[in-house]
Chain A
Amino acid sequence: MEIVQGVLYGFQVALQPINLLYCFVGVLIGTLVGVLPGLGPAAAIALLLPSTFSASPVSAVIMLAGIYYGAMYGGSTTSILVNIPGEAASVVTCLDGHAMARQGRAGAALGIAAFGSFIAGTLSVVLLTFLAPFLARVTLSFGPPEYFALMVLGLTLLTYFARESMVKALMMAAVGLLCGVVGQDTISGRLRFSFGIRTLEDGLGLVPVIMGLFGISEVLLNLETRDQDRDIFAAPTTGLLPTREDWRRSALPILRGSALGFGLGILPGAGAIIASFASYAVVGMMTFSPGRWAKIDDRLFECWKPCPQPRPTIARMTSGTLIWPLDI
C-alpha cells in the first residue's frame, strides 16, 4: 500500500504543468545535444547541468531525467543515420539500424527505436517501482565471481556476432582486452602501455574508441570507394510510425528484450553495454523470419532499448554508478 501511495504522490508532483514543461524542455535539448556524435547522456547532463540551476530541485531532477532520455535517443539517431554511435549502449543500434537506413528505411528505424525505447522504458520503471527493495538486495550480492561470469558471457556472445571469420573476431576480442589494460592498474597502481602520455594514464575511454571505430572507419571507407560507387541517402526520411504489421512482429521481441535488459541493466557497473548486446543476440537467435531484412527489423525493434532505463534509478540506490541525481 505504501508503494502505491508513493507512486500516486509521485504522479501528483510529476504531472504538474510546470514539471511537464521542464520535462519537455529537457528531452528537447537532450535530444539536440545527444545527436552530436560522441556526446552521450552523461556528457549531456554534465554540460546542461547549469541550465537547471534556476529551477526547483524537483523540476531540476525531472529536467535532468528528460535530458538523459533525450540524449539516449539522440545517440540512436546518429547510429541509424550516419553509423556513429552517440554512446556505448547504442552500438548495437548501428549494426542493424544503419543497415535499414541504407535500404531506405531510416524513418521506420527511427520510429521503431523511439517506440521500443518508450515501451521497454515504461515497463522497466513499473517493474522497478514494485521490485526495487528486492532487486537492491540481489544486486548487492553480486560479487567478483558473478561479474567475472558476466564478462565471460559478454565475450562468449562475440561468437554470435562474428559474421565472417571467427578467428578475426576472437583476435579483436584479445585486442579489446589488451586495450582495456592501458592505463593505471587498479590494484597495484602501476602504469601499463601509457608510453609517458598523460592522457593514456587514465586508460582508453569506451566512447572515443567506439566513435573512432565506427565514425572514422566510415569516413575512411567512403574515401576508399570511388565517387561513382558511393551510396548517398537521397530518399527522404518518412514513415516514422510503425505499421500494424510492424507492431505484430515486434510485440514479442520488445517484451523479451525488456525482461532481459531489465535483468542485466540493473547490475551496477556492467549495465547497459552487456545488456544491449545480450538482448540483441538473444532476440536475433529467437526471431524466425523468412527474409533477412525482416529479421533485422525484428531485432532492431528492441535491441538496445530496455537497458538504459533501470540504470539511473537502481544504480543510484545500490552502487552509485550513476550518481547525478545526488549531485544536485
Chain B
Amino acid sequence: MRRDLVSALFWLAVAIFAAAQGLALKLGSLKQPGSGFFPFWGGVVLGLLSLVLVARSLGRQSAAGPLVRPESSRLLVVAGAILGYVLLLERAGFVAVTFAFLLLLLRLERRGWAFSAATAGAGAAASWALFQLWLKTQLPLGPLGF
C-alpha cells in the first residue's frame, strides 16, 4: 500500500520532530517530568508505530493502487484555499474572504459563474448577518469596514 507508506513516512517525520523538540525542552525525570517529557515520549511512540506501518506497507507492496487520482488536484486546491482563508481572514475581512472561498468551491463543482457568484454572495451576507448582526460576534473587518 503506497499510500500507507507515504503517510507512515510523514508521521515518522512528525515523530522525529516532536521528539527532538521534546529533548530540547528538558525531559526531567519520571517523578518530576519536565516540559519536554510528553512531547519526547509521544514522539517516540508515534515513531515506533510509524515504523511498524512502514514495515507492514512494504510487505504488502503488491496491493499498490494509484497514489494520486485525477480528483486529487481539486483536493489540493481546496486544502490550499482553506489555508488561504485562514491567512487572509484577518487582513481582507470576513465577508470578502468568505465570498471568494465560496465562489471557488462552487466553481470547482462546475457551477455557472452567475449562479456561483449569487450563491457565494448570499452565503457570505447571510453568515455575516447571522453572526455579526444577530449574535453580535466580532468578525474580522476588511479595509472596507465589513
Q: A residues bordering B, Cβ < 8 Å?
A: 33, 36, 47-48, 50, 167-168, 170-171, 174-175, 177-178, 180-181, 185, 187-188, 190, 192-193, 216, 219-220, 223-227
Can you report 27 A-B residue pairs in the complex whose CB atoms are below 8 A from each other? A47-B136, A47-B137, A48-B135, A170-B45, A170-B49, A174-B42, A178-B14, A178-B18, A178-B39, A181-B38, A181-B42, A185-B35, A187-B35, A190-B25, A190-B35, A192-B25, A192-B39, A193-B21, A220-B78, A223-B71, A223-B75, A223-B78, A223-B108, A224-B71, A224-B72, A225-B71, A227-B110
Smallest CB separation, B103 vs chain A (Å)? 15
Q: Is A178 touching B43 in the complex (CB atoms < 8 A)?
A: yes
- Residues of chain A lying within 8 A (CB to CB) of residue B42: 174, 177-178, 181
Known contacts A33-B135, A167-B52, A171-B11; A193 and B39 CB within 8 A of each other: yes
Name B30-55 residues within 8 Å CB distance of A. 34-36, 38-39, 42-43, 45-46, 49-50, 52-53
Find out whether the CB atom of A175 lies under 8 angstroms from the CB atom of B11.
yes
Tell me the nearest residue of chain B to A47, going by C-beta. B135
Counting from the closest, the 6 A-B pairs by CB-CB distance are: A174-B46, A185-B35, A190-B35, A171-B49, A178-B42, A177-B42
Chain A residues within an 8 Å CB radius of B108: 223
A221→B53 CA distance, assembly (Å): 23
Is B64 interfacial (CB-CB < 8 Å)? no
CB proximity of A125 to chain B, nearest CB, Å: 29
Give the interface of B toward A (CB within 8 A).
11, 14-15, 18, 21, 25, 34-36, 38-39, 42-43, 45-46, 49-50, 52-53, 56, 69, 71-72, 74-75, 78-79, 82, 108, 110, 130, 135-137
Q: Which of B38, B56, B110 has the most CB of A within 10 A?
A: B38
Q: Are A167 and B49 neighbours in the complex by a CB distance under 8 Å?
A: yes
Q: Is the CB of B137 within 8 A of A181?
A: no
Q: Do B46 and A178 have beta carbons less than 8 Å apart?
A: yes
Asked, given contacts A175-B11, A188-B35, A223-B71, whether A167 binds B46 with beta carbons under 8 Å apart, the answer is no
Q: Give chain A residues whose Cβ lies under 8 Å from the Cβ of B18.
A: 178, 193
Task: Report chain B residues within 8 Å CB of A181.
Answer: 38-39, 42
Chain B residues with CB under 8 A of A180: 38
- Verify B78–A171 contact, CB threshold 8 A: no
Give me 6 other A-B pairs in contact (C-beta within 8 A), A178-B14, A178-B39, A219-B78 excluded: A48-B135, A167-B49, A177-B42, A188-B34, A193-B18, A224-B69
Task: Name B135's closest neighbour in chain A (CB-CB).
Answer: A47
Q: How far is the CA of A48 from the CA of B50 in the complex (A)?
A: 46
Kindly list chain B residues whose C-beta atoms are within 8 Å of the C-beta of A167.
Answer: 49, 52-53, 56
Instruction: For A174, give its contact among B36, B45, B78, B130 (CB under 8 Å).
Output: B45
Chain A residues with CB below 8 A from B45, complex form: 170, 174
- The complex places the Cα of A193 from the Cα of B53 at a distance, in Å, of 25
When chains A and B are docked, how far (Å) is the Cα of A190 from the Cα of B26?
Answer: 11
* B130 partner residues in chain A, CB cutoff 8 A: 36
Complex CA gap A187/B87 in Å reads: 32
With CB as the reference atom, state the residue of chain A lying closest to B48: A174
Smallest CB separation, B145 vs chain A (Å):
23
Chain A residue nearest in CB terms to B127 = A36
Chain A residues with CB under 8 Å of B53's CB are 167-168, 171
Q: How far is the CA of A175 from the CA of B47 in the complex (A)?
A: 10
- In the bound complex, CA of A167 to CA of B69 (Å): 25
